[in-house]
Structure 1
């Protein structure tokens, strides 16, 4: 027989969560675009409302979204993009992405307006708990596959995991590990200010498991600011605990990431000696051997190993050579084994199917690819740094485009990558593939230069992805101004009343350097939920204070 009290408590707990919002977050943050669209359809069927409330004074939603959809129309007319049917499909697709952003933020705002703040907080808590559970299973699956309790040091399977283990901790969104890291970095800040210490530690552990060096460094910066200006003694203590966890993880669990960060920073700030801007741009990556050179090296190593083995067998016949056997400092003889850190063991040297597509494309367009078409390379700056120089050089050569940009999908965006038809940024009709010349000779060239080579170069620091670069290059100064005034300031004007909202805003401005987050349709909507919730709390607090006067 059911206990009536237990049934009542269960029903009460269910009612204390906004299930519509939770379902929307779980579906909309999924990596598949089709599932995101389904999430929008479902949530509007459940909560039908199209009253956006845009206004130049006290706008309900950021005016950035309608403005950023207006600017490409200007570029379409100026650049006469409407004359190209393939570009028109790119244009419509890009508008579709911005429309999804607008529809998503409207539903997030409705959820905050129609629910109590504590209901939203409990919904957010449930989301992070579910995400942590999925991340645990991600990690457990890797341990089961490798048989290593610490896969961050596991160098088997051609170092499939090792330093790249974090790439497989994708969480409940099944998106990139960077998306998971960004969400959990937001979670750390949110729960820290909310004084939910267990959840701070849960989100911190998940963040560390993703091995996102950029997010770790960003969090250290924000921890420092919070420690000095906006935290209590207890909050300072949990910040110290988080930093200790980070030090232990870097020092004991995944020490190779520390070396990787130092090397990346060194390459980013390195100033090439001599040469003009084109020469500087051409100096792009580490000295990576070609596939043919790699095979020759492996064959040579194999022949050398046979020769050494033959010499050792001969040496065993002669007692006089026994003293030459390799020994430890204690005099113990050891057997010379394969060096797992050598090139053949570090990564698979065979070209992957995706790389075959990229390499074939490079061969077919070598004349237009000054970087990726080169056979030999010298050490230089990371790809992300190079792309910012490319954008600056582009506007020096085309000053007329600095106002409204090169046009949506024409220079730097997930849309531009998707329209290539390569398949690495989502599906796109092959018979309508579109690559603008400005994109081809700049950011696509940089991408091919790094991601068409060894897996060790496939990193965040070498990708051209950046919200700032996208807004400036494709939407011009109008796009940047619309973003600064009608998006950042829309939230930043509440900074004095913010609690977790201010560090969340600062974190978002930092992660905008790492990807095309508006087109990612993931982290942004969660950020906007936190900001709207914090604004509502601040307004409620203001009304309460007036009521007591």
Structure 2
């Protein structure tokens, strides 16, 4: 063993990848701020450099990040949120998130500048392998918990998994399954263009395991684009292999997803269809409900009920011992004589989804009951919109500006209308925690996107989908940063990468994917997939631009 260690080439492995960058990717993409902040501090201690290189011409980093700090400051004069004493903490928190974005992309840029492209490729390979291992681990835990090889068709435990199994495949970030789906979609495109078949299929499998229909549809469109315009024979074969994986997954592994997708499309595009979900739930007796959905009083009732039931059962068993009944269960055989093992009754209570509100929904329902006056949609004071929540949120934003045209240029201010920050500081434990004494809810946020969110997410899990969430980067920029913020994003962020379109390889389809993905969450505040996106694009720009040393040199 000692001789094998002596023969191990430590120097080769030390230079194989940028280990500092790998640490940044693994830990900074973690869902917890308590992990992100220490790792970014550690990285800056390790590589102390604050020369960001912002400038109007050939800016080293996207100038959008600097403008995202300045626009809210200018907007304070119009929205006057500073009149609320709690808003100072909200505003500083929003500024802090943008600073974290700048610190992260700066370190990513430093790594791309200071290492050979092959070293960065090795780093990305290791990252995707680690994420695949964690995703597989998520699935194994579910299989262990359900004792079912295919939990995607398992309806027990009140349908905790079943069609929602993908929600638990979170990967290395421990964030939502959508985050993991986007990361693996990046991997699919990246390894497809680089013709690395094993990793392509591994990322495709992990993507399918997340069960993200939206990302699957986007990837199909990307495949179509690549198949027609940007692929050779080998890559076309890889695309077909990925499509076969998708067909098998939808047909055999998770067939209920087909019905869900069809229902979603019908509800979205059929104007005559009332927005609904199939009701496959039952109201359970209190003794059969899990403790997690009961309050303290209900748990006492459940305990008493179970105690009385146990007394009745004991009396029945005693009576049975006195007067035993001899019976023999019939053996079930097929026509060929094969003995059939008894199967679980899928119509029993534990194989149905819970109709009673779960613990996370109860605070939301309580909040609605206390603020019905300000929550017309979730309190059912007005007709519930038939459109999905995502579309309704956009309509709310446009309607707000029709009523407040003076705010269209600089927006309603950070945390005042549509952002992860607004949800975080609401005190409802949505999108993270915040000190209770600094709780803050803007009236415009409460009467629009919060009301809309509560309408769907205070109900059972059937309503908890991307199509119903008001989360969107575009909506956030438009509502809180105004036209100035949205235009700044398009010119100083999107075009920062897109202007290299003639030379980019995997960068173009990844950019197209991100352009669509920005509709489904507050990704800048998420501090996750955009860091990986920026790394992939900066790397692709460097390896395809013969003048990269001049244009992207660190100054």
TM-score range, shorter chain: 0.7 to 0.9
1:12 aligns with 2:18: no
Distance 1:397 1:296, change over 3 A: farther
**Paired positions, count:** 502
1:423 CA drift (Å): 1.2
1:265 CA drift (Å): 1.3
1:424 CA drift (Å): 2.2
Structure 1 distance, partners of 2:412, 2:518, is 20
Structure 2 distance, partners of 1:418, 1:496, is 41
Distance 1:541 1:200, change over 3 A: farther
1:288 CA drift (Å): 7.2
1:512 aligns with 2:512: no
1:473 aligns with 2:506: no
1:354 aligns with 2:360: yes
1:84 CA drift (Å): 1.4
TM-score (norm 1): 0.86
1:15 CA drift (Å): 1.9
Question: Does structure 1 conserve the Cα–Cα contact (< 8 Å) formed by 2:541 and 2:548?
Answer: no
Structure 2 distance, partners of 1:151, 1:541, is 51
Single out whichever of 424-433 and 96-105 deviates more from structure 2: 424-433
Q: In the TM superposition, what whole-angstrom CA distance separates every residue of 1:313-349 from its partner, at most 9, and x where no partner exists?
A: xxxxxxxxxxxxxxx999xxx9x99973688742223
1:352 CA drift (Å): 2.3
- Which residue is equivalent to 1:433? 439
Structure 2 distance, partners of 1:207, 1:509, is 19
- Which residue is equivalent to 1:319? none
Question: Does structure 1 conserve the Cα–Cα contact (< 8 Å) formed by 2:283 and 2:354?
Answer: no
DSSP-derived class of the 1:371 partner: coil
- Where is the helix percentage greater, Structure 1 or Structure 2? 1
1:286 CA drift (Å): 4.7
Structure 2 distance, partners of 1:398, 1:375, is 24
Aligned Cα RMSD in Å? Answer: 2.8
Structure 1 distance, partners of 2:384, 2:114, is 58
1:43 aligns with 2:43: yes
Question: Does structure 2 conserve the Cα–Cα contact (< 8 Å) formed by 1:465 and 1:516?
Answer: yes
DSSP-derived class of the 2:502 partner: helix
Q: In the TM superposition, what whole-angstrom CA distance separates every residue of 1:373-414 from its partner, at most 9, and x where no partner exists?
A: 028977822211111111111111111111111111111100
Question: Does structure 2 conserve the Cα–Cα contact (< 8 Å) formed by 1:52 and 1:106?
Answer: yes
Structure 2 distance, partners of 1:7, 1:53, is 44
Question: Does structure 1 conserve the Cα–Cα contact (< 8 Å) formed by 2:157 and 2:350?
Answer: no
Structure 2 distance, partners of 1:420, 1:5, is 55
- Which residue is equivalent to 2:104? 104
1:462 aligns with 2:492: no
Unaligned runs of at least 5 residues, structure 2: 289-333, 551-555
1:146 aligns with 2:146: yes
Structure 1 distance, partners of 2:344, 2:200, is 43
- Which residue is equivalent to 1:216? 216
- Which residue is equivalent to 1:399? 405
Question: Does structure 2 conserve the Cα–Cα contact (< 8 Å) formed by 1:152 and 1:163?
Answer: yes
DSSP-derived class of the 2:360 partner: helix
Distance 1:378 1:370, change over 3 A: closer
1:543 CA drift (Å): 8.5
1:528 aligns with 2:548: no
Question: Does structure 2 conserve the Cα–Cα contact (< 8 Å) formed by 1:369 and 1:441?
Answer: yes
Q: In the TM superposition, what whole-angstrom CA distance separates every residue of 1:147-201 from its partner, at most 9, and x where no partner exists?
A: 1100000000000000000011001111111100000000000011111111000
Structure 2 distance, partners of 1:338, 1:17, is 51
Question: Does structure 2 conserve the Cα–Cα contact (< 8 Å) formed by 1:173 and 1:180?
Answer: yes
- Which residue is equivalent to 1:324? none
- Which residue is equivalent to 2:72? 72
- Which residue is equivalent to 2:239? 239
1:484 aligns with 2:486: no
Single out whichever of 230-239 and 425-434 deviates more from structure 2: 425-434
- Which residue is equivalent to 1:368? 374
- Which residue is equivalent to 1:498? 504
Single out whichever of 370-379 and 144-153 deviates more from structure 2: 370-379
Question: Does structure 2 conserve the Cα–Cα contact (< 8 Å) formed by 1:165 and 1:210?
Answer: yes
Unaligned runs of at least 5 residues, structure 1: 274-282, 300-327, 545-549
- Which residue is equivalent to 1:176? 176
Distance 1:365 1:288, change over 3 A: farther
Structure 2 distance, partners of 1:236, 1:9, is 38
1:270 CA drift (Å): 2.6
Distance 1:453 1:15, change over 3 A: same
Distance 1:49 1:542, change over 3 A: closer
1:448 aligns with 2:454: yes
Question: Does structure 1 conserve the Cα–Cα contact (< 8 Å) formed by 2:376 and 2:382?
Answer: no
